[in-house]
């Protein structure tokens, strides 16, 4: 007879009350007393997803991986289908692994999955049922990440066209305890230079509470308040920092809002951020050309009205809230980045998101819309997150904590949701 508790007794999801820091801090004693337990954090939007049958994810030029067992079970079935449409349906990957052994073939001359029908339905799903789909197709865009007994999160990938609206509309966190002894899932790699799991939960609670704070007025202005926190954590060292030190920092920071760290962004930082934007947006020729015109003084610096700033700020908050859950993990596209480097990459992404949204607004000739913001979020996932060479191209993986900290300050100096007028004197 097993002495392990039934998972159903542990897995009782509940909405995590705000403030998040206090709620997560209250759960630490149980986690510390029962080390086999892991607290799974799930964005409420995760369970709200329903496929819209847009077919976009089936047309993008990325690998749709299948496992070795799936390959063995279904290759002959599709290859020998009477229609003859699916000859050689899977192509073995150059470096085959058990869970990514092969990729689904594309329709000739396109990036479209060979199983996508003209009405955006899936041939496999329609004819064989959901049970016949590969794990990649069943899960997407739901992302499940596990560290075994360390940390677990559930969120949506931003590359799905339905994700940005869901992440904005369903911002709450759902939590539950799970017993790591009851799962056969292999834990993901822990990112290098990460705090231990107790500190991860507390740091995440602090960061999310800053995003939710009523003052300062914008998400990125509040996010700038993380800079002294990051500096403080680095000065002590992630290996020696203790959970009991975090509440003092948290309550001191919250007591000083909205005045802490409200110094205006330096013009030199904004100028540097614009130069960096040109580099990071080199993969998007249209936006890159427009930014270059701004940099050379041939285009006016973009400005937003009050309603546009609210729209932008809300989307930046939703994006950061979702991405923060992934910071502890080794990034699936960008590889092994430290805690500090991953925070800097978050700053890059918020900068790129703003510029792309403003570029789409310029193309339309009207005001900034929610659709343009959602398109910018998707574009980050399509073009930016999957630029694996970017890590070495910009030497992101060689930055020290101090360099990453300074770079994040530069990146956050561009905040188009703020009410100030922007002028670099270019």
At 329-365, the pLDDT tens digits run 666 666 678 888 888 889 999 999 999 999 999 999 9
Neighbouring C-beta atoms of residue 188, cutoff 10 Å: 18
Sequence spans of domains, the chain = 56-139, 243-411
Contact 284, 396 (CB under 8 A): no
Neighbouring C-beta atoms of residue 299, cutoff 10 Å: 15
Average pLDDT, stretch 141-165? 85
In this predicted structure, the answer to whether residue 186 has a pLDDT above a threshold of 50 is: yes
Q: 345 vs 199, 242, 342, 385, 391, CA distance in Å?
A: 20, 26, 5, 10, 10
- The pTM (predicted TM-score) of the whole model is 0.89
Distance CA 219, CA 222 (A): 5
Percentage of the chain beyond pLDDT 70 is 88
* Top-confidence range, 194-198, 346-350, 372-376: 372-376
Distance CA 126, CA 115 (A): 10
Q: Percentages helix, strand, coil for the chain, rounded to the nearest 5? A: 50, 10, 40
Distance CA 355, CA 407 (A): 18
Q: Read off the pLDDT of residues 289-302 as tens digits, 9 standing for 90 and up.
A: 999 999 999 999 89
Bigger pLDDT: 116 vs 261: 116
In this predicted structure, the answer to whether residue 190 has a pLDDT above a threshold of 70 is: no
Distance CA 326, CA 57 (A): 21
In this predicted structure, the answer to whether residue 1 has a pLDDT above a threshold of 70 is: no
How high is the pLDDT of residue 311?
97
In this predicted structure, the answer to whether residue 261 has a pLDDT above a threshold of 70 is: no
Average pLDDT, stretch 139-163? 85
How high is the pLDDT of residue 269?
86
Percentage of the chain beyond pLDDT 90 is 53
* Top-confidence range, 263-267, 324-328, 357-361: 357-361
Q: Which of 35, 343, 316, 320 is nearest to 191 (CA)?
A: 343
- The strand pairing partners of 37, in sequence order, are 179
Q: Order of strands across the sheet with 90-92?
A: 65-66, 102-104, 90-92
Confidence bin at 263 (pLDDT 50/70/90)? low
Contact 91, 102 (CB under 8 A): yes
Q: 5 vs 146, 253, 414, 425, CA distance in Å?
A: 20, 40, 50, 65
How high is the pLDDT of residue 421?
46
- Specify the DSSP class assigned to residue 264: P
Confidence bin at 264 (pLDDT 50/70/90)? low
Q: Which of 406, 396, 402 is nearest to 269 (CA)?
A: 406
Q: Read off the pLDDT of residues 410-421 as tens digits, 9 standing for 90 and up.
A: 999 899 998 764
Contact 335, 234 (CB under 8 A): no
Please report the beta strands in 26-100, taking only residues with DSSP state E, as ranges in sequence order: 37-43, 65-66, 90-92
In this predicted structure, the answer to whether residue 260 has a pLDDT above a threshold of 70 is: no
How high is the pLDDT of residue 233?
87
How high is the pLDDT of residue 7?
45
CA 56 from chain centre, in angstroms, equals 19
How high is the pLDDT of residue 6?
46
In this predicted structure, the answer to whether residue 3 has a pLDDT above a threshold of 60 is: no
Distance CA 293, CA 300 (A): 9
Q: 189 vs 88, 186, 254, CA distance in Å?
A: 33, 9, 33
Q: Which of 363, 349, 350 is nearest to 290 (CA)?
A: 363
Confidence bin at 10 (pLDDT 50/70/90)? low
Give the position of tokens 């993986």. 397
Distance CA 421, CA 426 (A): 14
In this predicted structure, the answer to whether residue 426 has a pLDDT above a threshold of 50 is: no
In this predicted structure, the answer to whether residue 208 has a pLDDT above a threshold of 80 is: yes
How high is the pLDDT of residue 2?
38
Average pLDDT, stretch 192-208? 85
How high is the pLDDT of residue 337?
81
**DSSP-derived 3-state class of residue 386:** coil
Q: How confident is the prediction for the chain on average, in pLDDT?
A: 86
Give the position of tokens 């149980």. 30
């Amino acid at each position: 007879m097993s002495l392990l508790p039934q998972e159903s007794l542990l897995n009782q999801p509940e909405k995590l009350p705000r403030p998040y820091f206090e709620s997560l801090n209250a759960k630490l004693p149980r986690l510390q007393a029962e080390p086999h337990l892991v607290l799974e954090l799930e964005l409420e939007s995760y369970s709200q997803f329903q496929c819209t049958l847009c077919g976009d994810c089936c047309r993008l030029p990325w690998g749709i991986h299948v496992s070795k067992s799936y390959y063995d079970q279904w290759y002959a079935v599709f290859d020998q289908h009477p229609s003859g449409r699916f000859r050689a349906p899977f192509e073995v990957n150059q470096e085959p692994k058990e869970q990514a052994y092969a990729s689904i073939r594309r329709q000739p001359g396109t990036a479209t999955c060979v199983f996508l029908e003209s009405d955006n339905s899936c041939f496999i799903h329609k004819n064989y049922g959901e049970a016949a789909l590969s794990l990649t197709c069943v899960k997407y865009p739901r992302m499940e990440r596990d560290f075994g007994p360390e940390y677990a999160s559930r969120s949506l990938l931003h590359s799905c066209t339905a994700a940005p609206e869901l992440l904005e509309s369903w911002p709450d966190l759902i939590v539950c305890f799970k017993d790591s002894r009851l799962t056969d899932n292999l834990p993901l790699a822990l990112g290098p230079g990460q705090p231990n799991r107790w500190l991860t939960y507390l740091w995440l609670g602090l960061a999310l509470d800053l995003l939710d704070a009523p003052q300062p007025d914008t998400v990125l202005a509040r996010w700038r308040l993380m800079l002294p926190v990051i500096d403080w954590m680095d000065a002590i060292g992630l290996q020696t920092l203790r959970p009991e030190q975090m509440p003092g920092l948290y309550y001191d920071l919250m007591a000083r809002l909205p005045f802490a760290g409200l110094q205006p962004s330096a013009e030199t930082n904004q100028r540097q951020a614009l130069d960096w934007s040109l580099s990071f947006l080199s993969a998007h020729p249209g936006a890159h050309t427009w930014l270059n015109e701004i940099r050379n003084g041939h285009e006016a610096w973009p400005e937003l009205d009050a309603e546009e700033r609210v729209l932008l700020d809300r989307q930046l908050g939703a994006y950061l809230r979702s991405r923060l859950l992934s910071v502890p993990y080794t990034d699936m596209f960008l590889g092994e980045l430290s805690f500090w480097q991953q925070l800097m990459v978050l700053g890059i992404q918020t900068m790129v998101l703003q510029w792309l949204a403003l570029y789409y607004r310029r193309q339309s000739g009207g005001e900034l819309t929610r659709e343009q913001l959602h398109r910018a979020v998707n574009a980050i996932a399509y073009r930016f997150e999957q630029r694996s060479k970017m890590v070495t191209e910009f030497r992101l993986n060689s930055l020290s904590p101090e360099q990453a900290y300074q770079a994040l300050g530069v990146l956050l100096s561009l905040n188009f949701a703020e009410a100030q007028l922007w002028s670099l004197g270019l």
